[in-house]
Amino acid sequence: MRTQVVIIGGGPAGLLLSQLLHRDGIETIVLERRSRDHVLSRIRAGVLEWGTVEMLRAAGVGARMDREGFVHDGTYLAAQNRGFRVDFKAATGKPVMVYGQTEVTHDLYAARDAAGGTIIDEAEGVMPHGLDGDAPHVTYVKDGTEHRIDCDFVAGCDGYHGVSRGCIPAGVLRAFERVYPFGWLGVLSETPPVSDELIYANHERGFALCSMRNARLSRYYVQVPLEDRVEAWSDDAFWDELRRRIPGDAADRLVTGPAVEKSIAPLRSFVAEPMRWGRLFLAGDAAHIVPPTGAKGLNLAVGDVHYLHTALAAHYRDGEDAGIETYSERALSRVWKCERFSWWMTTMLHRFPEQSTFDQRMQEAEIAYLETSVAAQTAMAENYVGLPY
Ligand code: APR
Ligand code: PHB
């Protein structure tokens, strides 16, 4: 087989890149390790930057998002049982879209299937070869048979645990990481959201977040110690803890119900440099991870895909390779700013085990400054709605 770009990974990054390249007449083959059902079963965050909204519309996959998504002009922050609102729209002229990222993946798969895109599910042993030359190829095994795809470029969109990042030589690859000393216990419930916009709460017992998927499906999180096991948390224990950490008026309104999904996720900040090695380009979680506090995971992947799509399109359309040559530098510039924002939101809102009373006062002062400063709220808003590409 031969194609122009082999994309390893059928998550949001890989599928969006495939869809955008297709619309520019560039052939791709997506190799996905897991089954379609598994990929579509992953519970993912729900906040889309406005740049992501515009990219999905440009890719021709924004119709259901526009029908079913919720445009949010702001969010609530709370500390010491008191909440205030940060108005993104007033500060930046932009809102965000609340629309499950699992739905984005659904919509991307539907678009690729409708366009006759080639997505090979349950592709095992995917391995790129010849990345430092001008004729790379990728091998994989499907139903026990080994296959080879010759190509021009390989996009590593295979997430944090993928194979692509490891193809960059150890002497070239540099990794930067911070692992946070806590996790997020998340619950999905078929209940009406407690608030019309998200609530991010700092509390002495730990962080809490009230989010949603639609008017009948709510998503809540509480910070828990890393050693906690989800089995140890009953639904009632979760609801009681959430009530303790959010402002009293929200706690009084909270509608509880059985958890239809309950899980604990660790938090880390991670960046791999460079994001390109010869004919290999990393995009999305393959290159970076952010703590979910700033809702940047998918949105960062979309930013990478924007740079990579425009670079590859210029190569094939105009024979122009400046985009390819500067891909890693341009993508990393935005990645690091989003890493900083996600680290800042996480540091401001969570209880750290070794935290001193002085540290707690610093968090409270940071939040109090946000509450009273237009400049501080504008800085938060422009990062939350999405920095320019
Ligand atoms: N071969 C083929 N596919 C692989 C391999 C491999 N060796 N390793 C991983 N994959 C697949 C995974 O099964 C997964 O479907 O690559 C895909 C990677 O998808 P994600 O992990 O979702 O990463 P990405 O597409 O970069 O999405 C980034 O989306 O929803 C958000 O928070 C989420 O931060 C994440 C973001
Ligand atoms: C979610 O809805 O799952 C969500 C929203 C905002 C975040 C993280 C997760 O910052």
Residues 159-177 pLDDT 10s: 999 999 999 999 999 999 9
Q: Same domain for 319 and 187?
A: no
Q: Same domain for 15 and 57?
A: yes
Q: Spot the catalytic one: 137, 296, 309, 315.
A: 296
> Is 327 tagged catalytic?
no
Quick check: bond before 291 cis, omega within 30? no
Low-confidence stretches of the chain (pLDDT < 50) are: none
Q: Same domain for 208 and 194?
A: yes
Residue 139 lies in a domain: yes
Q: Which ligand is nearest to the CA of 138?
A: 1
pLDDT tens digits for range 77-133: 999 888 999 999 999 999 999 999 999 999 999 999 999 999 999 999 999 999 999
Q: Which residues make Cβ contacts (< 8 Å) with residue 139, sequence separation at least 6?
A: 125, 126, 127, 129, 146, 147, 148, 149
> Is 296 tagged catalytic?
yes
> Residue 207 sits in which domain range?
181-266+350-385
Token reading at 259: 């958890």
Contact 283, 17 (CB under 8 A): yes
Residue 81 lies in a domain: no
pTM exceeds 0.95 for this model: yes
Q: Spot the catalytic one: 22, 72, 137, 262.
A: 72
Burial of 267 (0-12, 13-18, 19+ CB in 10 A): buried
Q: What's residue 360's pLDDT?
A: 87
For 55-86, the three-class secondary structure string (H helix, E strand, C coil) is HHHHCCCCHHHHHHCEEECEEEEEECCEEEEE
Q: Same domain for 12 and 56?
A: yes
Q: Same domain for 39 and 113?
A: yes
Residue with tokens 């729900």: 46
Calculate the alpha carbon distances from 376 to 81, 186, 368 in Å.
21, 29, 10
Q: Same domain for 260 and 277?
A: no
Closest atom, ligand 2, to C-alpha of 45: 3
- CA–CA gap between residue 68 and residue 231 (Å, rounded): 33
Q: What's residue 80's pLDDT?
A: 82
Q: CATH code at 138?
A: 3.50.50.60
> Is 180 tagged catalytic?
no
How many domains does one find in the chain?
A: 2
Residue 13 lies in a domain: yes
Q: CATH code at 188?
A: 3.30.9.10
Token reading at 384: 């939350």
Q: What's residue 14's pLDDT?
A: 98
- CA–CA gap between residue 48 and residue 216 (Å, rounded): 19
> Is 369 tagged catalytic?
no
Q: Which ligand is nearest to the CA of 105?
A: 1
